[in-house]
Amino acid sequence: MTQRIMIVGGGPGGYVAAIRASQLGAHVELAESEHFGGACLNVGCIPTKALLHVAELYQAMLHGNAVGLKADDVRVDWPSVLKYKDKVAARLVKGVEGLLKANGVTVHRGHAIMRDARTVEINGAPIESDTILLALGSEPAKLMFPGADLPGVIDSTAALSLTKLPTSMVILGGGVIGVEFAAMFSAFGCKVTIIEILPQILPGVDGEIAKEVRKEISRKGVTVLTETRLTEVKERGMQLWVTAVMGGQLQEMATDTVLVAVGRRPRTRGMGLEKAGIHMDRGRITVDKNFLTNIPHVYAIGDCSSAIMLAHVSSAQGMAAVEHALGHEPAYFGNIIPACIYTSPEIASVGLTEEQARAQGIAYKAGVFQLAGNGKAIIESEGKGMIKVIAGAVYGEILGVHIFAPRATDIITEAALAMRLEATVDELISTIHAHPTVGEALVEAALAVDGNAIHWPPGEKRR
């Protein structure tokens, strides 16, 4: 008998799960109240990266003289930039709709509410299923402070659709979202200040990489204020005035826009989950290793249940959940998850940082290779950046890789695969890498674990 699966949410977790369930022979229905592709395709990953791509092209044109290119009257046509961003997102959303149709998924447009362990109500009509998979996604987290509701105080969603480029912006939060938006708006010519309450930006990123990133974005004009707390925002005339505490002293700064970029929270309110008896912890659905909730046959994946809010995590969990629901043995390795940050150069990481290895008492060795010794990086980014490989002290197994380099977000996949296959630094070193590529610097970092980098002077200390 064909199993019926109802998936609530058409983001990167939900639509991928729907396609996989259909491949495995299930009758699949999917409910989506807004746009397919979720936050990622519509107000997150894709539109942000489209704008970052344009910003990078703009900077390349402005500095073309350095490589012998002459361009006059280079300027940003912001309405056209937004049209490009929307065109990219719309193309991908349409592609998702086509994939669902091609895989025979029945689509329901409307808000879904859970009625019980087998029933979801959409636009007042109950639909029964054998299995329900909740892929509800997330929304920007909000902070309550004096002035938080003023015009000009926006979240990341609104920042992607500003009708005009601000001349100045204060970004509250120096995490991934805040740093990416800082890089983007700064590249478009906006004066950007980041306010971060912690001692370093990009908490969770390898400390050495985070310091290098701070140096680079500061060099490009972003003001970074760490160990600083925003207290209020006031409106004076045509500008916003931000008050912050830094080193026990009050500071004021004027700005056009305040972007609150303090992360995202699970989107679980108004779904009837509490009445259905689903356990949650501070708004996040509680699941087991197979993504089952406390109610049999009800699964939850992605941002609504995972502490790691990444689109590729949602997709992998969605596939694993429906495979389990349909009697298969899923292969999900939640300890090997690459993370990417789209600054210039890019940042990417997988596995343990040095700080985490020390905290866990793991004996390790670290090799660092500065990209000033890599030909392709010199061509693309004047040799800025570094690659770090962390390996077990005894067997040399790869425990973590951290990259600040051009193409970092592509290179990290090789590192993730190496970890998935339990490779050692010796196996990485013995894999011949193409030249000239930034990727060959990964081999140099592996060689540096034992002090044997080829294209870096011996004995020279890490920065």
Which residues are known to be catalytic? Answer: 435
The distance in angstroms from the start CA to the end CA of the chain is 63
- Residue reference for tokens 């109240």: 33
Phi, psi of 26 (to 5 degrees): -80, 155
Q: What is the CA radius of gyration of the chain?
A: 24
For residue 30, what are the CA distances in angstroms to 34, 101, 110, 351, 368? 12, 11, 10, 34, 47
Q: Evaluate the omega torsion of the peptide bond into residue 436 and state whether it is cis, within 30 degrees of 0.
A: yes
> How are beta strands 249-255 and 125-128 bridged, if at all?
unpaired
Return the biggest CA–CA distance within the chain.
71
Q: Tell me the residue type at 47.
A: P
What's the rounded Cα separation, in Å, for the pair 89 and 45? Answer: 10
Is 315 strand, coil or helix? Answer: helix
For residue 315, what are the CA distances in angstroms to 12, 40, 119, 336? 5, 11, 24, 14
Phi, psi of 136 (to 5 degrees): -85, -15
Q: Residue 91 class from Cβ within 10 Å (0-12 exposed, 13-18 middle, 19+ buried)?
A: exposed
Q: Evaluate the omega torsion of the peptide bond into residue 345 and state whether it is cis, within 30 degrees of 0.
A: yes
What's the rounded Cα separation, in Å, for the pair 40 and 49? Answer: 10
**Token pair for 204:** 């969770």
Q: Tell me the residue type at 129.
A: S
Q: Tell me the residue type at 323.
A: E
Got the DSSP string for 28-81? EEEEESS-TTHHHHHHSHHHHHHHHHHHHHHHHHHTGGGGT----S----HHHH
What's the rounded Cα separation, in Å, for the pair 402 and 208? Answer: 9
Q: Evaluate the omega torsion of the peptide bond into residue 338 and state whether it is cis, within 30 degrees of 0.
A: no
**Token pair for 175:** 């995490």
**Token pair for 403:** 């990259």
